[in-house]
Chains A and B, each alone.
Chain A
Amino acid sequence: EAGVAQSPRYKIIEKRQSVAFWCNPISGHATLYWYQQILGQGPKLLIQFQNNGVVDDSQLPKDRFSAERLKGVDSTLKIQPAKLEDSAVYLCASRSPGQAYNEQFFGPGTRLTVL
């Protein structure tokens, strides 16, 4: 079974530029998550999708971050404009439908550096 795919793996941009990250979840996984992990900290949930609908985006900085999941499969997370404090690893995860305790499967992440 293929895992969660993310691209790019690394990205370096100047502050005030825009950037987009792509995620392809495991086939059949209805729930998709985007996390932000700042160096030395645990991942923090930014947004959760159920199919193509948003379930929780309470911690998404909506003035600069946006995310979409068209057709309920792939997802894109965008930052516009980027700030220095956005430097982090952005992790995508997916979970199969069914039991509440079903595990989340994480991708390798995209490491963003904002200069």
Chain B
Amino acid sequence: DAKTTQPNSMESNEEEPVHLPCNHSTISGTDYIHWYRQLPSQGPEYVIHGLTSNVNNRMASLAIAEDRKSSTLILHRATLRDAAVYYCILRDSRGAQKLVFGQGTRLTINP
């Protein structure tokens, strides 16, 4: 499974944008980029995914580099509820399509 690299932790202020980076230099052409987050004492939840183009949904935006070797999850206006561990995961569209979680980035939001 191709690996991702994320910072261990980040901190931001409430109502400000947050940019969470992810490096995936060994990504293959069939890998989707997925982001999940895990709030305290809960199971992970899906945030967004993309293949080549930038993506937007009600939770966040995903900006994918042209060479696909990195991506950035953007929370446009962070709230205290966005404090969580964010996981960037490459998921092969072939085979069993399993998720391989790394350590993720622990995001702290200051009031």
A30 nearest CB across to chain B (Å): 12
A95 nearest CB across to chain B (Å): 8
Interface pair B98/A48, CB less than 8 Å apart:
yes
For the complex, is A62 an interface residue (Cβ under 8 Å from B)?
Answer: no
Considering only residues 73-115 of chain A, those with a C-beta below 8 Å from chain B are 91, 93, 100-101, 103-109
B94 nearest CB across to chain A (Å): 8
Considering only residues 7-66 of chain A, those with a C-beta below 8 Å from chain B are 33, 35, 41-45, 48, 55-56
Interface pair B101/A100, CB less than 8 Å apart:
no
Query: How many contacting A-B pairs (Cβ < 8 A)?
Result: 57
Secondary structure type dominating chain B contacts = loop
Would A42 and B98 be within 8 Å (CB), given that A101-B91, A107-B43 are in contact?
Answer: no
- Bound Cα distance A100, B91 (Å): 9
With a CB–CB cut-off of 8 A, which chain B residues contact A101?
A: 32, 34, 49, 51, 91, 93, 97
Number of B residues whose C-beta is below 8 Å from A? 25
With a CB–CB cut-off of 8 A, which chain A residues contact B99?
A: 43, 45, 104
B103 nearest CB across to chain A (Å): 6
Interface pair A108/B42, CB less than 8 Å apart:
yes
Interface pair B32/A100, CB less than 8 Å apart:
yes
A24 nearest CB across to chain B (Å): 14
Would A100 and B97 be within 8 Å (CB), given that A43-B44, A93-B43, A107-B43 are in contact?
Answer: yes
16 residue pairs A–B, Cβ–Cβ below 8 Å: A41-B103, A42-B103, A44-B101, A45-B98, A45-B100, A48-B98, A56-B96, A56-B98, A91-B43, A91-B44, A100-B93, A100-B97, A104-B99, A106-B43, A108-B41, A109-B42
